[in-house]
Amino acid sequence: LMMTTVATLGLAAAAQAQTVGFSQIGSESGWRAAETTLTKQQAEERGIDLKFSDAQQKQENQIAAMRNFIAQGVDAILIAPVVATGWDSILAEAKEAEIPVVLLDRKVDSSDDMYLTAVGSDLVHEGEVAGKWLVDTVGDKDCRVVELQGTTGSSPAIDRKTGFEKGIAGHDNIEIVRSQTGDFTRSVGKEVMESFLQAENGGENICALYAHNDDMAVGAIQAIKEAGLLPGKDILVVSIDGVPDIFKAMSEGEANATVELTPNMAGPAFDALAAYWKDGTMPPKFIQTDSALYTMQDDPAGQYEARKDLGY
Ligand code: AHR
């Protein structure tokens, strides 16, 4: 009898295996690579058949991938939307096909009844935490800040800028003197930092760098060193993500602070989907992940060790 029960349960479980399409942005950063790895791991642990599509930073590729998932009749779609605008029609197509869509880590400006839920951090808050850290660190000292923005038109670039400005508001001694996109990559982050350094008296006039992600900060740290200055001392460095390499830089005194963004967005997304598939339970429209600040005082060497094998 027991054998029969187990066999029956096995069949039932197999019959329930769900297929999920995942339209990922690309692999612009260490954080992004970790999110991809963790999404695949989370799917495997739950017996979900994950169809993965890499959009190579292009919205048109993401829309094509979604259309393809809809045609295949997947049970749900996960999407990390590269930019915030332009999603209305494809979201309407998914809705029409009754396929739930879950947004991961970035937001869209479509109405929230066009998707099931969004898993992500409070992106404005992250920028604000970074700004407040700078306020607390420099006190009354004059501080000229250069800013490396994320991908133009992406919700983290828009919100992290707004948040940082909010964090430093009312502190006239702190001023953003240059701000440009580094596209969330190390290489562009380094290039743009080189031009900032050149334009600011070889970097002598820069007090701090605020980068919308750690990868751009890591590229910029290299540029600062090549300009003969000490990152972390001559130029303070604050960024967002909490990837292993920034903790390494912090442990070496070359970066000062980071605001962590969890790369495990898929875990909460799959939990919400499991409840929805089971009995139609509607999740909240926003499932918020934590944003913790880490400084040089928070055992960066230990933080690096704890994260380095996570596929970053
Ligand atoms: O959307 C999240 C952002 O995208 C991460 O902070 C950044 O590293 C990535 O490219």
- Reported as a single tens digit per residue, the pLDDT across 151-189 is 999 999 999 999 999 999 999 999 999 999 999 999 999
> What is the spatial distance between Cα 186 and Cα 33, in angstroms, rounded to a whole number?
13
CA of 157 to the centre of ligand 1 (A): 9
Least Cα distance to 43 among 266, 264, 299, 301 occurs for 266
> What is the spatial distance between Cα 81 and Cα 55, in angstroms, rounded to a whole number?
10
Token digits of residue 93: 């197509």
Token digits of residue 162: 């707004």
Confidence of residue 16 (pLDDT cuts 50, 70, 90): low
Are 64 and 81 a contacting pair, CB within 8 Å? no
For the entire predicted model, the pTM comes to: 0.94
CA of 184 to the centre of ligand 1 (A): 7
Mean pLDDT of 43-62: 98
pLDDT in tens, 118-161: 999 999 999 999 999 999 999 999 999 999 999 999 999 999 99
DSSP 131: H
User: What is the reported pLDDT for 1?
Assistant: 42
Q: Is 312 in the pocket of ligand 1 (CB under 6 A)?
A: no
Whether pLDDT at 2 is above 80: no
Q: Is 149 in the pocket of ligand 1 (CB under 6 A)?
A: no
Confidence of residue 17 (pLDDT cuts 50, 70, 90): confident
Work out the mean pLDDT of the chain and round it to a whole number: 94
| Lowest mean per-residue pLDDT among 15-19, 171-175, 234-238, 271-275 | 15-19
Q: Is 185 in the pocket of ligand 1 (CB under 6 A)?
A: no
CA-31 nearest atom, ligand 1: 8
Residue 296 burial (10 A CB sphere; 0-12, 13-18, 19+): middle
CA of 160 to the centre of ligand 1 (A): 11
User: What is the reported pLDDT for 143?
Assistant: 98
- Complex ipTM value: 0.99
CA of 31 to the centre of ligand 1 (A): 6
Residue that the structure tokens 């300009």 belong to = 227
